[in-house]
Structure 1
């Protein structure tokens, strides 16, 4: 399309540390570089923000300065005519009106990409008819069900022009639920390494939020089986609790109770993922749920062999067990510990898998993934 398209990427928020936010800012840069006019929209400002950079080559807008209630019919409010219920609904309607005004500026051929189902509640009220709407989930079908979002996804995304998951298996699962508009596009590789891990440091590394779903407590349980046998090694977890620090405090207590204080480091979140990953020799992921984990993409790109729970179809899409990493049945911390030990004890195996990981992850190079998006835009137009 001559002059590019008007693209709106809409998320619950665009300022926390998370895979969706990393994806949104990277794709906004990628689309802008391909000649599109991009606007990233967050529904609200979060309590705790993460530095995703500055001088964005695209516009950003946040609709609400704070959390605008839990839904369009607020939970816990029996009287929907009460002053509080009316205030919350009025605030949400103002946000939807602001989004509608923004979307009306789009030229013909514009697209709205809605990365999360809560955000879709605003888009459904705001999107003008001349724009195509692409809905997305960044978690697996199973995780969506466990989190209680499944019915809302079916309800809010059923009429989207396209509904995207991150893997074919998840698209098929939603199609079986009646989503005839289901398709998939994986996450793009969003880092360009200037160097790669040398894989000789006695460090197992993990990058990820300190949330229950990310399973850092399961990683500590696995590490408690490793640390006494390999006292020279360190587990280094980069991340922070996205809310009030409750999970951080729980993990700190668990670290002390398991006697791991001397072998586990919590340096906090980092923007310098290259330094963080290149300082490690093995990457560990013990999430309870994932979609198509950006952390695995990053680690493989920097040449780290990964040990990961098989918690979503995206894990198997990324890692070929025994070739470029090791995949463990979800929740099995004993086997996870054994796989960590296998890589910790065999430097040549680490290097072999690390080289394979670097080559394998190129399947998700930005131009290849962007090309699939361009094909979808053209099809919907």
Structure 2
């Protein structure tokens, strides 16, 4: 086992509802279990709060006691934001000075990376992360900010080798890859006989629920004994419910609300749907694979094909945004139980390579390499 370290993980908010924050708490717990002293740091309070539990085995704290402005114009706004960031960076520097030799700072989000870049990280290993595909970053302001704030760090980690290669081709020389760990241990495995298609998603534009509803409107009526269940909440819920009604679907049956009982949701289904416009290395697909559920997913990121070997293991991959293709993929699995079983069982075997121990071993090997 590696020597214990002080590890600081810096995110936008420690108690935000979202996959990134779940990842941050998961790896904090895993690092702590290896004997490390972990501090999980948020830049600001959450916008949409989630309770990640009490009595956590690692320290959590937030740099600012109020939400910070993201955008603005004029000299006054720039000076105000710089002053706020300076306050947060000073506090970060104080925390970092507590570290023993071998300490590590991980900027888990690019906005949080601005605060890390402004802090004093002398003597510490510094790591920046992009928890999305290269293409998703490239189409947003995060691309230029990653170039600015991550190039001076020891390494910039993408979620897949393909994304790391894309960053390298774009001119970054300090890139590598680190996948997410699979934290889910199924309690009840599905029989794959339940006539239910399920997805657990935040109800926002990037998650593509609108396209899933369009696909279901094409194929659902042909299978009146099958149901679509969407678990989740988010800013687009009312608009999506209205869309479902306009498509002739029963929104009261489809939308199941937010759930913390992933086991109940997945074990009562036979197919998982991932209609996202953007993803990184989707934990949702990993969870479905752990349950032996075949997934129909849009090919929206290299992480999709890293997990799903199309029609071989894990499910069916559809060209990004191809709604009729999503409908066809769902229909194929709905018609063919043997196909569901074959793809589900192969996916269950494949996803084991992302076990928590194997991923933390990779992290520890990376820490040792960067420390040399």
The Cα shift of 1:357 comes to 1.2
Report whether the alignment pairs 1:358 with 2:354.
no
Name the structure 2 match of 1:174. 167
TM-score scaled by length of structure 2: 0.96
Distance 1:196 1:51 in 2: 27
The Cα shift of 1:62 comes to 1.0
Matches within 5 A, 1:181-330: 181-241=174-234, 245=235, 247-261=236-250, 264-324=253-313, 325-330=315-320
Aligned residues of 1:69 and 1:88 also touching (Cα < 8 A): yes
Matches within 5 A, 1:68-107: 68-70=68-70, 75-78=71-74, 80=75, 82=76, 86-107=79-100
Aligned residues of 2:291 and 2:348 also touching (Cα < 8 A): yes
Distance 1:3 1:341 in 2: 52
Distance 1:132 1:60 in 2: 20
The Cα shift of 1:53 comes to 2.5
**Which residue of the other structure, out of 108, 133, 154, is the alignment partner of 1:115?**
108
Distance 1:2 1:169 in 2: 29
- DSSP 3-state at the match of 1:367: helix
Distance 1:186 1:111 in 2: 18
Q: Report Cα offsets for 1:126-158 as digits up to 9, x if no partner.
A: 132111100000100111111232111111100
Aligned residues of 1:233 and 1:263 also touching (Cα < 8 A): no
- DSSP 3-state at the match of 1:150: helix
The Cα shift of 1:77 comes to 2.9
Name the structure 2 match of 1:27. 27
Name the structure 2 match of 1:128. 121
Q: Report Cα offsets for 1:192-222 as digits up to 9, x if no partner.
A: 1223111111110001111101101111111
The Cα shift of 1:125 comes to 1.2
Distance 1:43 1:266 in 2: 33
Give RMSD over aligned pairs.
Answer: 1.5
Cα gap change, 1:2 to 1:198, in 2 (>3 Å): closer
Name the structure 2 match of 1:156. 149
Distance 2:282 2:32 in 1: 23
Aligned residues of 1:68 and 1:92 also touching (Cα < 8 A): no
Distance 2:93 2:139 in 1: 32
Aligned residues of 1:13 and 1:21 also touching (Cα < 8 A): yes
The Cα shift of 1:258 comes to 0.6
Distance 1:209 1:292 in 2: 16
Gapped regions of structure 1 (runs ≥ 5)? none
Name the structure 2 match of 1:377. 367
Cα gap change, 1:149 to 1:254, in 2 (>3 Å): same
Corresponding residue pairs, total: 370
Distance 1:16 1:264 in 2: 28
TM-score scaled by length of structure 1: 0.94
Aligned residues of 1:231 and 1:263 also touching (Cα < 8 A): no
Cα gap change, 1:302 to 1:53, in 2 (>3 Å): farther
Gapped regions of structure 2 (runs ≥ 5)? none
Distance 1:56 1:254 in 2: 41
The Cα shift of 1:117 comes to 0.7
Name the structure 2 match of 1:345. 335
Aligned residues of 1:235 and 1:263 also touching (Cα < 8 A): no
Distance 1:261 1:147 in 2: 35
The Cα shift of 1:3 comes to 5.0
